[in-house]
Structure 1
């Protein structure tokens, strides 16, 4: 995505798009949507996805915060919005993700963080904002059913 927009890793994609003149924002959004459509067609599901999807319908997860929410991660506003809508403290939430922005936003909100480990993000096991590491999506079922109390990093 950064390559398509001509920006380097130090620049947040959405911040860049929002900084563009209005006519250029539409073109940038179209580029991003084309990349996302291509990725969805070529995407291979992660291990454990079917089991996690079978588990989730019995549990309500709403609202879901998307990339359109501002301010974007790593700002904690999205997680804080969920805590507010559920009327619970953010310390009772778990941020699940696969990026450093996911871990930082969860940590800044006061939530526990769960890293879904992959070949490209294993270095995030060691960032201080990562509380718990799972290898497969269905490992999250155990975390959700058992509750989560921030504890030393472990791989489930």
Structure 2
């Protein structure tokens, strides 16, 4: 197996001087976690997407945002209004994922930066934060999620730009494979990560896994019915059944082997 056959993070709370690394020195300190919202922080509302596609008269195979952006400029406002109206109704039915507050409280206590990167508009995100997060998560200071990247930011997922924006706000720098090769003195550098950010992307969809991988993050998939294929997708690094399962994983330190 080549020298760089995986990557990972030191246990949460490890001091900056901690030298307990993997044999090939690939464990680093976690700098932040980016979360998707719908289906990740809150329970899935799959009926909402069916309603959106019905309103736009497009099949499941067509991406909603790409479809609207492909319309003539004059037709886009009406199409976006249909989507916003459906989201406005659906947000009243939002339910938090099991283990949400427990995980967020742990991360806040450990001063792990948290952000949201979602394809939703701002109103459903604000509604979720006000009803399920604000005032319920203790241990941190200021906003629990900062930044919050919504659909107003372009390009949307699966493009990695939203995750890169979170990294920019946090002043987290990526490490390119060529940088790693020079540092390790390895002539045989392999791995699925063309670039590496010391961050995690948590989501429930192919867009989340694709954007996280392209951005250089370790990707964590939250299991959901009907998306079992993503559990073995090459862009998925780790799979959890509940959000709070991440607590013990992060306490022990996370390691992801390269998928062949």
SS in 1 for 2:255: coil
> Unpaired runs of 5+ in structure 1?
none
Paired residue for 1:84?
168
Q: Distance in 2 between matches of 1:38 and 1:138?
A: 28
2:195 counterpart of 1:95: no
How well do the aligned residues superpose, as a CA RMSD in angstroms?
2.3
Q: Distance in 1 between matches of 2:164 and 2:210?
A: 13
Preserved contact between residue 112 and residue 148 of structure 1 (Cα < 8 Å): no
Q: How does 1:18-29 map to 2 (within 5 A)?
A: 18-29=69-80
Which residue of the other structure, out of 222, 227, 230, is the alignment partner of 1:121? 227
SS in 1 for 2:158: coil
| TM-score when normalising by structure 2 | 0.53
Query: Which one has a larger percent helix, Structure 1 or Structure 2?
Result: 1
Q: How does 1:48-59 map to 2 (within 5 A)?
A: 48-58=99-109, 59=111
Q: Deviations over 1:69-95 (max 9, x none)?
A: 211111112222222332322431111
Higher CA-based Rg: 2
**TM-aligned CA distance change 1:6 to 1:150, over 3 Å:** same
Larger RCO, structures 1/2 (Cα 8 Å, 6+ apart): 2
Paired residue for 1:135?
241
| TM-score when normalising by structure 1 | 0.83
Paired residue for 1:39?
90
**TM-aligned CA distance change 1:12 to 1:65, over 3 Å:** same
